[in-house]
Every structure is written in C-alpha cells, then in structure tokens.
Structure 1
Amino acid sequence: MSSDNLDDLIEDLEAASKLPAKQRKTGIKSTIERAAAILYERGAFPHELIRLVDLLTIRNHLDQASLAVLVRNLYPSAKVGDDTVLRFVGALGHGHLKPSLPLQALFLRWLVMVYHLLENPAVLSQAYAVLFNLLDTAAIRPQLCHVLALVTRRKHVRPFRIQAILNLARQTGGDPHLTGLLRVFKNYYPEIIVGEVTKGRAAVFKHPDTQWCARLDEIQQQHSASHDGTAVRNGFAVSHALGSRLKGAKAMFPTVHTLHAQENSVTLEETDSAETFVKQLDKIELPTQLVAVFADPLLQKFLLLRPDAEASSRISNWLMACLADVAGGDADSDLLADMLEVVHDYVLRVKMLPPLLLTFFGQFLRVWDGSDKRDMVLETLSFVPMTDFQRLYQILQPLEDSMLDGTAACQVSLLKFYTLLVRRWTIAIEASEPFVSLPVGCVTDLIEHVNKLALTLTQTSPTVGVYLDILDFYESTAAIYAKPPLLQHVFITIPPPLLVYLLHFSPSLAVVSRLCGILAIYKRAWEAVTSPSVARQLTPREREQINSFNGFLMDLCNCLWRGRAFATTDTNAQGCRIPQSVQPVLASYVRRTDPDLSLGFIFGLSHSPILCLQSISYVRELEDADTNVRLRHTGPVTQTSLSQLANRGGLRLPWQEYRSGVLGYLEAKGFPGIPELMYNTMKNLMKTRKG
C-alpha cells in the first residue's frame, strides 16, 4: 500500500473502526499519522471528505484521540457540500449512537472555520431550529453559539427564541456565549430585547484558529490554480490564466494585458468590480491583445458595450492568420480544435455570432473534416443571425459539403442544427421591435431548403426516431406561425404533401399525434393570415400552397374521422395521392381479410393500427364503470356494433358520443394532436367544443 494514498488509508481506518482495539492485529496510530500528514499537505478531495466525515460521525470503535486528530486536520481542498454539513449537524446531540460531546464541539468548531467555503451557506440556515434546540447542552454551547451567530438573520429571530435564550441565560448565571448570541439577536430587534441581560459579559466570536485557516487558504489556492480552467471566474475581473485553456497548442490565446500604460491610463486589468467597470467604461484603453476576448468575460463585456471597428479587424486578422497556418501545414490541426472550443464557449456566453466570426467560419468550414467536434461546430453556428438566404448559404453550403457523407446520421445532425437555428431565430424575432427591421424572408427560404432534407431522411432512415426529429423542426416553424403579429411579416411555408402522408401512415401514435397538432397550428395560421386582423395579401406562393394544404387536410380527416380513406370525390381531396389504379386492389384485399370491413374505415378511430387499442380501451373503461353492463364489446367498435350491443344488454353509447369520447381519451393520455386537428377542422365538432 502506498503511504500517500489517502483512499487506502481511509479504507484501513474503516476496517479498524469495526473492531474493538483488542481484536485488531495492528495498531492504527501510524495510519492516523500518515492520514493527518496527507490532509495537512494537500487537503481532502470531496469524495475523501465524505468518507472521513462518515468515519467521524458514525459511532465506531476508533478512540477519541484518533478521531480528534482527523477533525483537526480535516482541510477541504474544494467547496464543502451540503452532504458534509448535514452529516455533522445530524451527529449533534445526545444519544448512545452519537459521537462524544468533545468530538461534537470539534465538529462545530470546524463548521465555523470552513463557513466561507460552504457550497450552499443556506443549508445551515435550514438547520437553524435543530442547532438552536441544542443550546441547553453545555459541553457544545460555546461552539454552537458561534455557529448560530454566523447563521442568524432577521427571519431567525423570533419571540420564543428570545425568551428561550433569556431563560437559559438566567439558569446558567449569565453564560457569556449566550449573552453574545443575544446581542446578535438585539442587532435585528433593539426595540424588543432590552434589559440588563445584554449588558453583562459577552463572548466575542473570534476565529478559533487563524493558523489553521491560513493553511486552509494555501490548500485552497493550490487546488484553485490546478483547476482554473474549469472554475467559475469573476465576470468583472480580468482572468490571468487563459493559457491553461489551450495546453499543448503551438499558439495560445493571450491574456488581457495593456502595454505602454501611463500613470493616468485606465486599463481593464485595474477593474475588479461592476461599479468600477461602469464608472470607467468610457476611459478604459483597449488591451494590446484583443483576441483574448474569446476567453475573458470582462473583455467580452467591454467590446459589447464599446464596439470598435479597428478591434474587430485586429481580432479577425489574428483568427485568419491561425487558419492560414493550419491550412498551409505550418501549425498543428490541434490548434484549430482548441480555437474552436474557446470560440464555442465565447458564442454561448454572448448569445450571438459576430460578423468577424462569420468570416472565420466561412474559411474554417473549408478546412474542417465534417466530423471533428461536430456538435460544437453546429451549436456555435446555430447563433448565425438572420440575413439574406443567399449570403447565409455561403455558410450553409460548405457546412453541408463537409458533413454530408451519404449516411443518415449526418443528415439527422444537420436537421437538428436547422431546428435549433429556427428556434434561435424565433427568439430574435420576438425580441426585436419592429419586426420589419429583420430579414425575416430568410425563414421561409430556410424552411423550403429543409423540406428537401426532411424528405430525403424519410427515404434513407424511415424510423420513428427520425420522424420525431423531423417533427421537432416543423414544431419550431409552427411556433412562428402560431403568433399572429409575426404572420404580418413571415410568409407561411407548409411541409411537402408527400412528407405529411408518409408521417401520417407512420406506425407510431406519437408521430401521428404530433403531426396533427402541427397541422392544426398551420390551419389556424392560414385562417389568421386571411382575416382582417392580419391585413396582408397572400403571396402567389402561399395561394399555391393553401390548395395543397387543404388537400392533405381533407385526406387526413377522411382517414381519421369520415370513414372515407383515399376518397377523391370530396372538394380538395387527393386520396392521399395513391394512384386510382391501386385503390381497387386495396379494397379487394380488405374485403378478403374481413367481409364486414371496407377500405374507407380501416384508418379510422376504431380500426387504425395506431388507434384501435386506445379506442377499445376507452370503451373498456366505460364498461368497467357501468355496473348494469351484462355483455362487453369484443371490438373493434362500429356504429352498427354499438346499436346491436345496446339491444343485447351491453353498453349504451351513441356513435357520435363514442367518437368524441375517444378524442377526449386521447387528450387525457397525452396525445392531443388528433383531437386538436379534428376540433379545428370538422364543423360538427367545432360546434360541440364551442357549446
């Protein structure tokens, strides 16, 4: 066993704690000494701290002296979590299984010394009542009063607690620690706490051990330095450790530094708070190395609030030089990956892709292999601002050329990217006023572009998972059309009819439900855009699309509700675009399978492969609730079967009530799309819902 492996030492102590001292083959003194030395040297990592706290708080066979040594050397190397604090609080008090009172006093002393390192200081506030109720334990009262003095806020000071301290102070003859705590209470309510009791000798709550605290600070600084890249930085102070972000790269992002600063110069390096930053914003000089903006939060804020054309040009030139080095073979490709990671973090932080980075990505995508850090590239590019689609395609085309390799996986990744892009654009449109200032026409162009990708995916990977990804995209576009104010500026673009039919005949109820929900939103959008409230003329492209939309809307209603699947005689109906010559063959097949069934009904609520279980389950629930039912329906349900069933002692359920009930049952089960489309399309149902 290595003598510097604290985990092994803790394991030995855990084993020894289960045996009385006389039954152990070896002593634990040397183990305690080595563990204490390691704790003093580099502190306890979070997982080690938890194990040590369990060893201290759970009653065992280790002697008190050994446990006390561990507590006195329990230096945490990182923030102290809630689990650690609550374990110590839970170990306080009286009981056979509780640690000894001297040990409890050390626990409280430790909490005082690490109070500034608590991950969630409110955890002690939540345990305030538990701590307060232990004040009558004299052995831990001094340390307990100190903890309470740190934690006490106005909400904790209550009349019953004031009275409890006063009574306890009288019983103890004026304990100075209680008097000190009472003075803390009095700071919040001086008009209530009066009298001679607070004028007596009071304890001054000083730090228990300043040398221990100094060593703790050293350990914390060592740990912080080794983890600076992942630590949360002060957003109003310059970060001086950016180099650690790009270890191993031949070129590193420099730190913020202002050369040639004079006595009256104001630099970013001097800023240490939001107040200072705001007061001196107009006087701060530009740093020498502006490319540090990608990793320094303060410089990011500065350039956002004080944009500078020269600064953007300098940053762009630096990035292009790095790209040229990689493309020419003068720099390692790892440099590109490191740069991309920092740029990605920067874009996520500022929630925008500046023009200089658009130029960078225009060149980057020409040397990118299409797979390295793909998710990071796509998430970064999802912040591309709305612009003319021809200009936008100068970015999208090299992106697609790099990514598309003939596999469905890359196509799905690209589709998810477009979904995220539309969602970000929706946020930008809603946040902008007026809308006319934005090039919203690119939304329509992008949807038409993605329509082709979605159709391709139905051929290359016709799975339920891919269908759901496709619906994610159209739900994001429907979110735009669901807002009438946006319809004044954004033209409606529908999904391709072939895509709608392929999704409608999916074997998944979730797919069909979501599809119908999207189409219901589109239908309301068409109604809104043709109403006086929106007051704009339909474009020729929209007039052409509205006929197609009405066509597949009628086809879906014929399948799901009207019992006329593949009919072409109704207005706008297109028979789901199945060739007329195929329909007699399908009808003959259906008759051979079931003479009582016709082609028109096989995709309705009762017979559809995705809806038949929900329909009959609805009927079963009604039958279970009706005690007068003597005969159960065997299914599937038809208008004739319901009439015959009622005459033979079965459930009395009118046909229209049954169908409406199935729609309600689907809504209750989390499939609201089909009911929503039916209630927005079928006139008899519209009246029912309005009533």
Structure 2
Amino acid sequence: MNAKETAIRYFKRLKGTKTCNRVEFTTCLNELKGEAHNGFSEEEVETLIDALISAECLASVRFQGLLECIVPHKLVTHKAVLNLLQWIFTYFHTAPVGSLKSALDWMIGLIEFGLTDEMVVHAFYHHFYLLLENERLSVAACKLIHLLTTPSDVSRWRVKKILKIEQKFGKRNHTTCLLCLFKSYKPECVPEKVPAVNLHTAFKAVGKMNPFFQQAQLRLNAGSSEETCAKMVKWNIDQGLKKTRTKTKVDAVPPLDYVYFGSKLYRAKEKHSILEFKTLKSLSVHQLNLDIPCNSMSLLQNIAGIHVLAFGDRSLQSRLSFNLYYTLYRAFIELDQDFSYRERENVLKQIVELEEYMQQGIPVVSRFLAEYLPRWDGEDFREMIFHLLQWITFSSYLELHDIILDHIRNLFMTSSIEVKCSIIGMLNKFVENLICICLFRKEKEISGLFLEIRDEWSELETLQNIIKFVTDLCVAGLTVEQGSYLLLHEALRFFEMATCLEEENKLPIWTMMPPAVVYNGLFSRSACFLARVCDLLLKYDMAQYPRLRALGLRTKFLKEVNRQQLYIADFMSSLWNQNCFDEKERGYIFKGMPESHVQSFFFYTIPNEALTLKNHFALVPYVFLMQKACSALQDAAFDQDDLMIICSNYFPEIYNLIIHESE
C-alpha cells in the first residue's frame, strides 16, 4: 500500500470520530497535498468528501486544509457533490462558518472550471437564498447564485428577497452585482437605479482556495470532445464593469441584450433565450429555436455565440457582416476615440476565433484588411492581423496581389528579421489553408458555412502564383538578412509543407527550393539545416519526380528536373566526392568561378575538401564532442566513412541522400 492510499484510509477511519492525532493528521494531510497536483480518482474524491463531512473532530482550519487537497483528476461525481450540498443545508445553522464558507468556495471552483455537472448544483438553487441571510456566507452564496442563474430563474420574488437583505445588512457590492445580472436578464423585474458594480471586485475574495483546479480543467479539456462540449460558457462576463462612456459609445463586442415590444402572450412561438444555456452541447440541441439578441456582434463574446453565428441563417450572418464592417471601419479606419486599444484588440481576437471555427474567411473582414493595410504601421495588433490574413477571401490572384500581397511585400522589405519570419509563417499557413480547405471544398463542391460562399478563383494557376510570391519573398529575405537562421528555418518550413501537401493531394505542382535556400543549407553551420535540405532533395528525387512522371507531366517540369540534378551534383561533390571545384561545371553554385579564385583558397585550406563530411563546419562540433567524451578517440582522425556512421545514427537525412545518389 503506497503513501497516498494510507492517507486516504486514515481519513476514512475518521468518520464519526470526535478526536484525532494531530501529528498523524498533519502527516497524512501533507501526503494528500503532494498528490493534489495529479488529482484524485472519482472513488477517492467520494471517499474523502464522505470522511470530511462525517468527521466530528475537524475544526475550520483542518476542514479547509483537507478540502483544499480534494482535487479531481477530471470530474467530480454527482454523488460527491450531492453529499457536500446536503451537508451544507443540513448543518448551516450549527456548523462552523469557516467550514461552510470553505465548502461553498470549493463548489464555486468546481462550477467555474467546469469540473462537475452544473445542473446537479442548480437543483439547490432556491436553497442558496437561505444562506444570503448569514452575513459571513452572503458573498460566497451570491457568487454561486450568480454562476447558476438563468433568465427563467429571475422573478420579482427573488429580487424582493435581495432588496430585503440589502435593507437588513446595507448595500453590498455582491448583492448589487447580482441585481445587475437580474436586470440584464429581466429589466422589468429590477429597480431602474441599480448602480454598476465591477464583477471582479464584488467577488474578488471568493473561489480562490483551489489552485490545482486549473490543472484538472486542462486534463479535462484534453479528453473527449463530449467533455469539451459540456464545458460551461459564460455570457456577459463584463457585466457590471464601470466604464467611462460618451453618449454615443458603442462597445466593440457588446453584451447580450434583448428588447421586446408588447406582451409576451402575443408572440407567435416561444423561443429560447441564448442566456438560458450554459454549455455548447445544450445550446446546439436548441439551435433552430433560439431567440437571437438585438445586436449580432454580441455573439462574438464566447465560443457558444461563435457557434450560433457559424451555423446561423443568412439573415443573421448578413446582419453580422453589416455590423462587423461598421465597427471595424469606425475603430481602425476612422480611429474613433470611443474604442480603446483593448477593445480593438478584443474584437480582432474574436473575429479570428470565428474564422478559425468556420475554417473560412469573412468577405467584409477581407475588405476591411484591404483598406487597413495601406494605413497600418506593422506594429499594432500584428498577431491578430496576421491571423486574419491567413483566411483572406479573394476572387482572383490579380485582386489578391493588388490589395493584399503588394502591401505585405512592402512591409516585409522594411521590417525586422522577427517580422519577416512572422510574415513567412503567416503565408505558410495561408497556402496550407488554400490547399487543405479551399481546394478540398472546390473539389467536393461544398460551400462555406458563412453565407454559403464558394471560391471562384482558378485553382492551380492562383496557387502557383501565390507560391511563387512566397518563394520570391524567401529569396529576398535571405539575401538581405544573410546568415539568418530564423528566416532560413521559416523558409524551409514553407517548402517542407508545400512538398508534403502536394504529394498528399496529388497536385500537378512542383514547389522546388530556390538556390538561396538550398545553398544556405549547404553552407550552414547547423547540421539540422543541412539535414533538412538533404531530406527535401531526396524527396524530390524519390517521390515528387516519379509522381509527376506518372501523371504524364515530365516535359512540363524539365526545368525543375535539371535544377534538381544540379543541386544534387553540388551536394555530392562537396560532401562526399571531394571534388566540388574540380567538377564545378556540373553543378550550380560554383559554375563559372574563375580558376584564379579557386587557387586563392589554397592559402586557407584545400578547396575540394573544405565542405566534405569530415571537415564540414556543421559536423565538426559533433566530432569534437565525441573526442572529448571518449579518451580513446581524442587522437583519432575521422575519415569520410567514420562521418557516414555518425550521420547514419544522428542525421539519417544526410546519410540517405549520399547512399541513394551513390548507388
């Protein structure tokens, strides 16, 4: 039996006891604290909760200490939650207030991090109002009510109950915040003069006792899709925040509001308010019977609203398009001072989430980008702008080049190396989206989710032009930023991705590395870059060319075939054959070099042997480390065959290329 099982068994024995050994209790408690970061199984949590509420020897400090250790591995069962809730409402008159407050805080943590079924706790919704009458429990009870409340829970009776408590104890931030929530759901039930209260200020001292709950949430989110769909979503999370407003102020992403005219009795059909749903799963069930809020932009506030927009009808998506363009134009083109930097950043972030959820760009966002890029300084909101550019929509390559790519090239040539790498990475993702999603939809004749839009651009011609644009940027970047391994890494990522997707999708395209990338890899001081270039050259020879030849496209790609042969000739003569300058006319990089230049190299080294495996500056550090680690190798001289053995174990890409071409 390990230490954890021993500790759990000890607490199980405390059930019904009135005394306990302080030293033994502390030892077992420390053992549980050490295991809390991994979480406990459902059975272990049930056992510990049962022991916690049954032991009569636990003062408030010990009760709280033990409860802090009870962290689920993923979810807490209904039984454990019900047992703790039943104990709270059975003994809330007699149990220590500190213990009750700890139990409520623990329950708040479960709900906020989605570690239990909220409906089980909601079954006790009415009972939490009883705890409001205890001033020391009022804040925690208010927070629970705030988390559990749905529009159908709001009634005049409950508003009156809270107003009476305010008369008894005076106005407090937590009760006022609860009234604000009620007012957002049913304004007709709440007095008009309810001041705005910051939600985080009202409950800042509640629900912070379990630092390991976030780890449990991460474990839960890494599980099945069903568990992810059951995760709780929050509406109007900024409700109650005090903001400085002008009379014409419009939030970038406004709160969810409903405005009704006339009596509810005369509505043709009862629809569900979005505010009633706390999980994506429950919302999806009633997708076709939802009452959409007045401002469609308010649905951008979380993943559930984004789901509604993605699968909404054309009317809703058209409304969103109009409001979205109007908001973006005011905030970024007109630079309306009513929008703070944070609000601008937030609306871009939510648009990115919507486009990635739909796997599709939004036309009005692309129009906004076309107008914004000429004005953009390249610094503000860079990450969000680059994410939006990955989903740009266009009708032809000419249009794309004129309104987007031309501005990207200007930004690329005037930016730092870090921004250049970000631009290549963004274009990498853009091309990947075109191949994996747009071409797939065109082949299957599938429309996008948003407004059922279909791409009209020519597939292969447009794709080849975009790839050529990215290739030219890589060449220009490597020419300007000589010796930059960051840019070389991004360039290699692009050509590796293109080669892989062309093969997987059987595209009649051959995206070959330009000389700037190939020879930066050959002359690199990093063996990793050398190996990656060798790997791509081998794929060209063994996969790309045979695939295109099988499609009957050999004559179309004769230029690529000849260039591939030149690349391999240089690599073989430099790395293996030790005759790169003797056979320079058969290759590319040394071709046409005057003999006088070659002779000048003899002052420093033997030219033909400078780039061989045994002398290559990318591999020499590994030889040095091996000699340093093994005394028997310190005076040994490594020849080409020895380096081949090293490459076969550590850099198989280099080894495979040499073996393949030698045969």
- Give TM-score, length-normalised by structure 2: 0.61
Please say if residues 271 and 289 of structure 2, whose CA atoms lie closer than 8 Å, have aligned partners that are also in contact.
yes
> Which residue of 488, 511, 526 corresponds with 1:493?
511
Q: Distance in 2 between matches of 1:121 and 1:612?
A: 48
* Same amino acid, percent of matched pairs: 13
Residue 607 of structure 1 aligns to which amino acid in structure 2? N
1:679 aligns with 2:560: no
1:416 aligns with 2:422: no
- Output aligned runs, 1:204-353, within 5 Å: 206-207=87-88, 209-210=91-92, 212=100, 213=104, 214=131, 215=137, 216-218=140-142, 225-226=199-200, 239-241=235-237, 250-252=249-251, 253-260=253-260, 262=264, 263=267, 264-269=269-274, 271-272=276-277, 277-308=283-314, 310-326=315-331, 327-328=333-334, 330-332=336-338, 334=341, 336-353=344-361
Residue 579 of structure 1 aligns to which amino acid in structure 2? G
Please say if residues 257 and 293 of structure 2, whose CA atoms lie closer than 8 Å, have aligned partners that are also in contact.
yes
Please say if residues 257 and 269 of structure 1, whose CA atoms lie closer than 8 Å, have aligned partners that are also in contact.
no
1:101 aligns with 2:20: yes
1:512 aligns with 2:530: yes
1:668 aligns with 2:649: yes
Q: Distance in 2 between matches of 1:138 and 1:436?
A: 69
Q: Distance in 2 between matches of 1:275 and 1:419?
A: 34
Q: Residue 138 and residue 248 in structure 1: after superposition, are their counterparts in 2 closer, same or farther (change >3 A)?
A: closer
Q: Distance in 2 between matches of 1:568 and 1:574?
A: 7
1:498-533, Cα deviation, whole Å (9 max, x unpaired): 43223311222222122212222232333332443x
- Output aligned runs, 1:443-454, within 5 Å: 443-454=463-474
Say what the alpha-carbon RMSD is for the aligned residues. 5.2
Segment drifting more, 346-355 vs 549-558: 346-355
Residue 488 of structure 2 aligns to which amino acid in structure 1? Y
Q: Distance in 2 between matches of 1:137 and 1:260?
A: 53
Residue 603 of structure 1 aligns to which amino acid in structure 2? L
Match of 1:361 in 2: 369
Q: Residue 246 and residue 344 in structure 1: after superposition, are their counterparts in 2 closer, same or farther (change >3 A)?
A: farther
- Output aligned runs, 1:145-184, within 5 Å: none
Count of residues paired in the alignment = 494
Q: Distance in 2 between matches of 1:256 and 1:351?
A: 25
1:391-445, Cα deviation, whole Å (9 max, x unpaired): 4333333344456535434322212222333444454379769479883554432
Larger Rg: 1
Please say if residues 614 and 638 of structure 2, whose CA atoms lie closer than 8 Å, have aligned partners that are also in contact.
yes
Secondary structure, counterpart of 2:655 in structure 1: helix
Match of 1:635 in 2: 637
Please say if residues 11 and 51 of structure 2, whose CA atoms lie closer than 8 Å, have aligned partners that are also in contact.
no
> Which residue of 604, 609, 613 corresponds with 1:601?
609
Secondary structure, counterpart of 2:287 in structure 1: coil
- Output aligned runs, 1:572-583, within 5 Å: 573-581=586-594, 583=595
Q: Distance in 2 between matches of 1:521 and 1:120?
A: 44
1:544 aligns with 2:559: yes
Q: Distance in 1 between matches of 2:326 and 2:622?
A: 63
- Output aligned runs, 1:125-140, within 5 Å: 125=43
Q: Residue 593 and residue 568 in structure 1: after superposition, are their counterparts in 2 closer, same or farther (change >3 A)?
A: closer
Q: Distance in 1 between matches of 2:392 and 2:242?
A: 25
Please say if residues 576 and 613 of structure 2, whose CA atoms lie closer than 8 Å, have aligned partners that are also in contact.
yes
Q: Distance in 2 between matches of 1:246 and 1:294?
A: 21
Higher relative contact order, structure no. (Cα contacts within 8 Å, ≥ 6 residues apart): 2
Please say if residues 618 and 665 of structure 1, whose CA atoms lie closer than 8 Å, have aligned partners that are also in contact.
no
Q: Residue 435 and residue 450 in structure 1: after superposition, are their counterparts in 2 closer, same or farther (change >3 A)?
A: farther
1:107-138, Cα deviation, whole Å (9 max, x unpaired): 99x9xxxxxxx998646756889999999999
1:307-351, Cα deviation, whole Å (9 max, x unpaired): 31x333322222332344343454456354443233234344544
Q: Residue 454 and residue 151 in structure 1: after superposition, are their counterparts in 2 closer, same or farther (change >3 A)?
A: closer
1:624-682, Cα deviation, whole Å (9 max, x unpaired): 49xxxxxx864353xxxxxxxxxxxxxxxxxxxx62x533422433x333123223433
Shift of 1:357: 2.4
- Output aligned runs, 1:52-131, within 5 Å: 101=20, 122=40, 125=43
Secondary structure, counterpart of 2:617 in structure 1: coil
Segment drifting more, 130-139 vs 490-499: 130-139
Residue 256 of structure 2 aligns to which amino acid in structure 1? V
> Which residue of 515, 520, 532 corresponds with 1:502?
520
Shift of 1:587: 3.7
Secondary structure, counterpart of 2:87 in structure 1: coil
Please say if residues 574 and 612 of structure 2, whose CA atoms lie closer than 8 Å, have aligned partners that are also in contact.
yes
Segment drifting more, 328-337 vs 445-454: 328-337
1:589 aligns with 2:598: no
Shift of 1:291: 1.7
Q: Distance in 2 between matches of 1:455 and 1:304?
A: 39
Q: Distance in 1 between matches of 2:346 and 2:53?
A: 56
Match of 2:385 in 1: 377
